[in-house]
Structure 1
Amino acid sequence: MSLENEQDPTAYDRTYVLDNRLTLQWYPQRVVAMAQTGSMLELGLGHGYSTEYFAKTFQRYQVVEGSQEMIDRFRKRFAIEGVDIAQGYFEDFETAERFDSIGMGFVLEHVDDPAAIIRRYAQFLSPGGSIYIAVPNAESLHRRLGHAAGLLPDIYALNSADLEFGHKRYFTLESLVTMVQGEGLEIRKVEGLLLKPITTQQMLDLNLSEAILQAMLKVGVDYPELCNSLLLQASRPA
């Protein structure tokens, strides 16, 4: 279950539903594969996929969410225990608590100053803790192929759907690593989320089996520079 079917249907079609189902179910699984399962602070409720997964995995789990409407919607649709939701803007959040893991899943493409968000939340890490950042990848294989075929004039430009969903930027592997290192963090691991060689609409038209879709996720782990999205683990220097 997710929050996506509560979106305005004019702003959310089935192609994005498939992308979200694949990527947002895979993202928390990959984070947990890398993380300590003590405490977790996550930025945003999103579509509810990671919230549901993390709440069952971490001993202590808190979410920062700016929208009271999203919090109310989440509480209405999910009967999940162990989720502590703090209402407030990411930029203003304060806590004396320190967390083993901090999740920034598909957040930094939406905010005004992503480097400032990383800088702010790095101070909330416990010793040895990690930040997990997932962002869309401008240089994904399907975008590169679309550009080479003349279907996508500029792989780095935002399209109308990006703007409708509140995206302010794309990232590349290089730009993400440079930004994170610029905030004094060390890169621990980088993985890819969803290696798709064609557009989501083409995937739907081909009626690909679930086994093939899952293979796109599994194979993509080792090829971040070609994947639909990037997942990066970073920590403060020892």
Structure 2
Amino acid sequence: MAHDYSSRYDPDTDFDRHYTVATGTRIRRWFRPGDAVLELGCATGLMTSLFAERDVTVDAVERTPAYHAAAQARGLPRVTVHLTDMDDFSSPRRYEHVVAAHVVNELPDPLGLLRRIREEFLAPGGLVHVSLTNPYSLHRLVAMEMGLLEAPEALSDRGRALATVEIFDGDRLEALAREAGLTCVHREPVLLKPLTNAQLAELPDAVIAGLDRVARRFPEHGALNYAIFVAGD
């Protein structure tokens, strides 16, 4: 994974921060005091900062030096930020929560990562939290009707610029997880996205929050799919 787009993409200021906060808020609802959390691909640590507000310890892994430095600079309590590729990260401990938010779509071998999470990182009874772009998000369906995308899962120019390898839906994610020995126990959408990021950025934050809440009424069409997995029998 040699892609480094940190010079042209700031996760703290881009509209994507709304997805990060919405997803991180969902994930931390499952935390219990004293839990150990592994976050794979923490970028600048925005989601990590939400986790640090709970009584948990966090190992956050980030391969990009600029993002790693930004995450370190937050000085988050009970958080260790590791500068390494997730393929090279190892730990003697097991984690009650392993978070892979918006990373499996950047990997040539997402199945391999899910297998490694189950075999090397997940504690007995632990939860794996995965989020990724939903190809059936409203904005992608609109783009398809306008002739801007050939298919829901087609890569956009922005996606290519941000190292997206493939876009796959929640059902495909569940199938990959099953192959890796993981069972889905919860799935929900994140933020209903009728317009592009640039267009949504013109709206007040209260409207964005409303679009996130209303996403539960359209579970197949959120901007992201968020799923939780446990080790299968």
Asked if TM exceeds 0.5, the reply is yes
Gap change, CA 1:57 and 1:222, over 3 Å in 2: farther
How far apart are 1:187 and its partner, in Å?
A: 0.5
> How far apart are 1:58 and its partner, in Å?
4.1
Counterpart CA distance in 2 for 1:28 and 1:13 is: 17
Unaligned runs of 5+ in 1: 1-5
Residue 29 (str. 1) matches residue 63 (str. 2)? no
Does residue 216 (structure 1) correspond to residue 211 (structure 2)? The answer is: yes
Aligned residue type for 1:161? R
- Counterpart of 2:149, as a letter, is L
SS of residue paired to 1:208: coil
Equivalent residue pairs, number: 226
Within 5 Å, which residues of 2 pair with 1:169-208? 169-204=166-201, 207-208=202-203
Partner of 2:81: 85
Distance 1:221 1:100, change over 3 A: farther
Q: 1:139 aligns with which of 133, 136, 139?
A: 136
With the length of structure 2 as denominator, give the TM-score of the two structures: 0.88
Partner of 2:126: 129
Shift of 1:114: 0.7
* Aligned counterparts, 1:148-167, within 5 A: 148-167=145-164
- Runs of 4 or more, structure 1, over 6 Å off, are none
The two structures, once aligned, show a CA RMSD in angstroms of 2.2
CA offset at residue 168 of structure 1?
0.8
> Aligned partners of 1:48 and 1:222: how far apart in 2?
30
Contact conserved, 1:35 with 1:130, CA < 8 A, in 2? no
Matched letter for residue 208 of structure 1:
L
* Displacement of 1:92: 2.4
- 1:232 corresponds to which of 220, 227, 230: 227
Residue by residue over 1:125-158, the C-alpha shift from the partner in whole angstroms, topping out at 9 and shown as x without a partner, is: 1121100001111111111122123332222111
Structure 2 letter corresponding to 1:82: R
Corresponding letter in the other structure for 1:136: T
Distance change >3 Å, CA 26–CA 131, structure 1 → 2: same
Report the CA distance between 1:34 and its aligned residue. 3.0
Seen in structure 2, the aligned counterparts of structure 1 residues 50 and 172 have a Cα distance that, compared at 3 Å, is same
* TM-score (ref. length: structure 1): 0.86
Counterpart in 2 of 1:61? 58
